Structure 1
């Protein structure tokens, strides 16, 4: 079953007056306060903000992992709110990729077997050539038979990225993808994300607290108290950009 695309051809994700409220009565917390924003295809966007600003809620709602209280969200041209849970599951499976801080790899499976999981969950027979190609895209063509315990932290995150990309998703959502990595390894993963955007026009939306990570993006969107509080368009590879992003964050936190 399909839905009629509702966004423009150049838009991958769009939020229209999206509101997310947690709790009731005196314990109501507004995580997103009527946010409207669109993310262009083939771009890399970083979402930043102080703790409790709503950045992870925005990511989870945009990816269909959580439901907004009101407003409309469209992903890959499809209105999430018009779908039941089964159809949202299919949308996430076919159009969305996820990478989180903890790669969530299965320790007993090889890198290739971990990458196969989305296809197996969908009831499809994994194509060994496609799995190998996905691992090759992230520089792990020679690690297909290694289990997570035999890989470095950066390599494990690359496997998680390959798993997210195996279905060639319209949008890749990344939640603090380098938060558990050292500086050098973090830079390698971020450079890979950047390369996927530049070379393959992989639309990427990343939540991060790290100004250096955000400097790899085309656009940095800042949130505060559930609202958009500004944006920057970094001019890479200016080494002063992380400092500029950090200064903006400091102003939001004070």
Structure 2
């Protein structure tokens, strides 16, 4: 997917706030990209525009070769349903439904009859093959996020967007979820774009894009064998926030 000269301006009363200022970037298929930056740098706006949740003020956005900027809401909704997946800090599970029923939801919304075997495989892939009949209240926070991840992947999206996916989890559970995301990239060539404020979370990515004032301030390529990744990322964040 690709963003070309993307601007996003929000109007608050008589004031215009430029959240994105001419961002151009390409995300290679089968790679894991982390987006970082100080508060107000435009991280979430970039993700929301790239995912079709928000429309840019100007510029072009392409998802799997299809331009989504300028699409009407009906077509954007169809694209989000069929081509992209979402994982957020809040798990957004339906409390009255089982894990399997929560995973089925995107298929049902698309008018497709879920294949029970496919749903079980999706939950097994995130380590919850034995928890298909459990409701969210019977699952830990990490398990609930795994259900949310299985739900995002059930449609086999071209791109998975993750907005602070480990923000509500403890350290150990966060690392388990991040390791699972890394595995999806390495074994299934899943394309992942993740917004995070956590240098440890970002260290699981192939590349970190740093934003400041709505612009790309830096880019850091990562070697997964490099144990100094979190400290290098943290140091760069400190420079941006200085």
TM-score class normalised by the smaller sequence = over 0.9
Contiguous gaps of at least 5 residues in structure 1: 1-12
Aligned-partner SS, 1:23: strand
Distance 1:143 1:25, change over 3 A: closer
What is the aligned residue count? 242
Is 1:91 aligned to residue 83 of structure 2? no
| Counterpart in the other structure of 1:204 | 192
Aligned-partner SS, 2:62: strand
Per-residue deviation at 1:136?
Answer: 1.0
Is 1:230 aligned to residue 218 of structure 2? yes
Aligned-partner SS, 2:238: helix
**CA RMSD between the two structures:** 1.0
| Counterpart in the other structure of 1:75 | 63
| Counterpart in the other structure of 1:38 | 26
Q: Deviations over 1:108-157 (max 9, x none)?
A: 10000000000111111111111111111111110000000111111000
| Counterpart in the other structure of 2:235 | 247
Q: Deviations over 1:144-180 (max 9, x none)?
A: 0000011111100000000000000000000000001
CA contact (8 A) 2:34 2:196 kept: yes
Summarize the alignment of residues 25-64 of structure 1 with structure 2, pairs less than 5 Å apart.
26-64=14-52
Q: Deviations over 1:7-33 (max 9, x none)?
A: xxxxxx100000000116751110000
| Counterpart in the other structure of 2:10 | 22
Aligned-partner SS, 2:94: coil
Per-residue deviation at 1:85?
Answer: 1.3
| Counterpart in the other structure of 1:118 | 106
